[in-house]
């Protein structure tokens, strides 16, 4: 077992005019036993990065290390990693037992009985021990995905590399499998790189999240860090649902003038010093409806039960607010809103770089071991038993 280091990893496909730069000089350190989620929009280079780690693609330049060992020139099977894909790719003619044990039979000197025991242990861990004699076509999507996981786990690899493994499952099963996978990964303590385009999944699962865009790594951090302190407007927009509201404002000293008569006086104008315009960001949950705030026009209200989503327009700009469920503005009603300056994000209009983020610098410190949830659950269980 070991951590994984990507040192200026670059991957180009093709050459000349047709060259595609899929991964651009990515530096990333994944800790031993960490669950790292690589997230970003479709085509941003997630799968290519994962395939480079797996040894299924040669890097154009840069190095990949497992622990201190440089594996850049190693072939896939020499790297001792197990991959799980969106398409489970089970062998249709083999039963579950053989599907799980197949890789072991090829790669180890163990006896059939030893392999069988390991297959049964892993099947029990995944709750599919009753399905060992079934063929894949007899299984549900979730069961098939468990078999694919079992095949990866039984090999006891140095790392798990997972590429959108839950994408084919329906929403309910997906969220159940997310929790199961997290618990399993925590128990097995195997370094895991998990690829998804779904920021909700990334936020829910990762010890840390690595956000990619257009072949470039944007930011690596805990869910809280990337949410509260995004390095740029792309990350701010990509992380969080509904998305952050962003509009352009002109800067006049400490005064910001935005669409629809939006005016705001910053108590601290240092982030916008020297700028003519700035991109202003406010997360939907930071908007409060008040009696004497900035006016905007209500369009659609979506009741969520515990809160309401309110879609409004501020001048020519759409604004989404998450508001108190007791507040129900009517369509075309003018409502007024306010927000705390501490919740405000400001971005450079040219580079997109963050100039100010929410509670700048005040990220709650969760300590070195960021994922303590399963052990807390264990403690709670032990207490409950006593």
Q: Which residues bind Mg ion (CB under 5 A)?
A: 47
Cα dihedral value 236, 241, 242, 246, nearest 10? 0
Binder of ligand ADP out of 35, 46, 142, 165 (CB under 6 A):
46
With CB under 5 to 8 Å by kind, the binding choice for 43 among ligand ADP, Mg ion, none is ligand ADP
Listed as own residue / partner, the contacts of 44-48 with beta carbons closer than 8 Å and 24 or more positions apart are 44/212, 44/213, 44/214, 44/215, 45/11, 45/212, 45/214, 45/215, 45/216, 46/163, 46/195, 46/196, 46/197, 46/212, 47/163, 47/195, 48/11, 48/22, 48/23
**Is there a contact between 278 and 346 (Cβ–Cβ < 8 Å)?**
yes
Looking at residues 248 to 277 of the shown chain, list those that interact with ligand ADP (rule: CB under 6 A): none
Identity of the residue, 57 or 371, whose beta carbon is nearer to ligand ADP in the bound complex:
57
With CB under 5 to 8 Å by kind, the binding choice for 230 among ligand ADP, Mg ion, none is none
**Is there a contact between 291 and 311 (Cβ–Cβ < 8 Å)?**
no
Count the residues in the chain.
386
Site string for ligand ADP, 85-104 (x = CB under 6 A): --------------------
For residue 31, the minimal CB distance to ligand ADP (Å) is 23
Interstrand relation of 159-163 and 277-282 (parallel, antiparallel or unpaired): unpaired
Crossing angle of helices 171-188/373-385, nearest 10°? 90
Binder of ligand ADP out of 42, 111, 306, 326 (CB under 6 A):
42
With CB under 5 to 8 Å by kind, the binding choice for 290 among Mg ion, ligand ADP, none is none
For residue 46, the minimal CB distance to Mg ion (Å) is 5
Interstrand relation of 288-290 and 294-303 (parallel, antiparallel or unpaired): unpaired
Stretch that binds ligand ADP, among 42-50, 112-120, 151-159, 179-187 (CB under 6 A): 42-50
For the chain, the C-alpha Rg in angstroms (whole number) is 24
For residue 163, the minimal CB distance to Mg ion (Å) is 6
Identity of the residue, 5 or 47, whose beta carbon is nearer to ligand ADP in the bound complex:
47
Stretch that binds ligand ADP, among 45-53, 257-265, 310-318, 333-341 (CB under 6 A): 45-53
Identity of the residue, 20 or 381, whose beta carbon is nearer to ligand ADP in the bound complex:
20
Identity of the residue, 203 or 323, whose beta carbon is nearer to ligand ADP in the bound complex:
203
Identity of the residue, 162 or 298, whose beta carbon is nearer to Mg ion in the bound complex:
162
Considering Cα of 212, then 218, then 222, then 226, what sign does the dihedral take? negative
Residue with tokens 């595609």: 20
Binder of ligand ADP out of 6, 28, 36, 45 (CB under 6 A):
45
In angstroms, the CA 321 to CA 293 distance is: 14
Identity of the residue, 40 or 55, whose beta carbon is nearer to Mg ion in the bound complex:
40
With CB under 5 to 8 Å by kind, the binding choice for 245 among ligand ADP, Mg ion, none is none
What is the phi-psi region of residue 45: left when phi exceeds 0, alpha when psi lies from -120 to 50, beta otherwise? left
For residue 18, the minimal CB distance to ligand ADP (Å) is 9
Identity of the residue, 22 or 346, whose beta carbon is nearer to ligand ADP in the bound complex:
22
Among 147, 150, 151, 181, residue whose Cα is nearest residue 164: 181
Number of residues lying near ligand ADP (CB under 6 A) = 11
With CB under 5 to 8 Å by kind, the binding choice for 20 among ligand ADP, Mg ion, none is ligand ADP
Looking at residues 5 to 34 of the shown chain, list those that interact with ligand ADP (rule: CB under 6 A): 13, 20, 22
Nearest-CB residue for Mg ion: 47
Which residues 6+ apart lie within 8 Å of 74 measured at CB?
Answer: 55
Binder of ligand ADP out of 6, 39, 44, 90 (CB under 6 A):
44
With CB under 5 to 8 Å by kind, the binding choice for 381 among ligand ADP, Mg ion, none is none
Interface with ligand ADP (CB under 6 A)? 13, 20, 22, 40, 42-48
């Amino acid at each position: 077992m070991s951590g994984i280091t990507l040192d200026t990893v670059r991957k180009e496909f093709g050459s000349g005019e047709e060259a595609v730069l899929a991964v651009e000089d990515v530096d990333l350190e994944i800790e031993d036993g960490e669950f790292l989620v690589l997230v970003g929009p479709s085509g941003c280079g997630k799968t290519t990065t994962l395939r480079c780690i797996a040894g299924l693609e040669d890097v154009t330049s840069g190095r990949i290390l497992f622990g201190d060992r440089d594996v850049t020139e190693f072939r896939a099977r020499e790297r001792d990693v197990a991959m799980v894909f969106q398409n489970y790719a089970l062998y249709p003619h083999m039963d579950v037992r053989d599907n799980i044990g197949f890789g072991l039979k090829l790669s180890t000197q163990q006896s059939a009985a030893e392999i069988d025991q390991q297959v049964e242990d892993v099947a029990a861990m995944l709750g599919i021990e009753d399905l060992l004699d079934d063929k894949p076509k007899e299984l549900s999507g979730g069961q098939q995905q468990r078999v694919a996981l079992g095949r990866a786990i039984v090999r006891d690899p140095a790392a798990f590399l997972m590429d959108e493994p839950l994408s084919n499952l329906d929403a309910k099963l997906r969220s159940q499998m997310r929790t199961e996978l997290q618990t399993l990964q925590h128990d097995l303590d195997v370094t895991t790189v998990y690829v998804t385009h779904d920021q909700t999944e990334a936020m829910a699962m990762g010890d840390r999240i690595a956000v990619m865009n257009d072949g470039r790594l944007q930011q690596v951090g805990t869910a809280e860090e990337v949410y509260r302190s995004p390095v740029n407007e792309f990350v701010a927009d990509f992380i969080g649902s509904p998305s952050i509201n962003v509009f352009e404002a002109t800067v006049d000293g400490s005064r910001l003038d935005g669409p629809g008569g939006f005016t705001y006086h910053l108590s601290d104008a240092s982030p916008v010093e020297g700028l003519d315009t700035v991109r202003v960001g406010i997360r939907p949950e930071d908007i409060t409806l008040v009696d004497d705030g900035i006016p905007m026009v209500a369009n659609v209200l979506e009741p969520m039960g515990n809160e309401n989503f309110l879609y409004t327009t501020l001048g020519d700009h759409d604004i989404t607010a998450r508001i108190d469920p007791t507040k129900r503005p009517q369509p075309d009603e003018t409502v007024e809103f306010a927000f705390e300056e501490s919740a405000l994000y400001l971005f450079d209009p040219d580079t997109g770089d963050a100039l100010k983020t929410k509670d700048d610098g005040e990220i709650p410190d969760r300590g070195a071991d960021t994922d303590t949830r399963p052990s807390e659950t264990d403690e709670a269980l032990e207490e409950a038993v006593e």
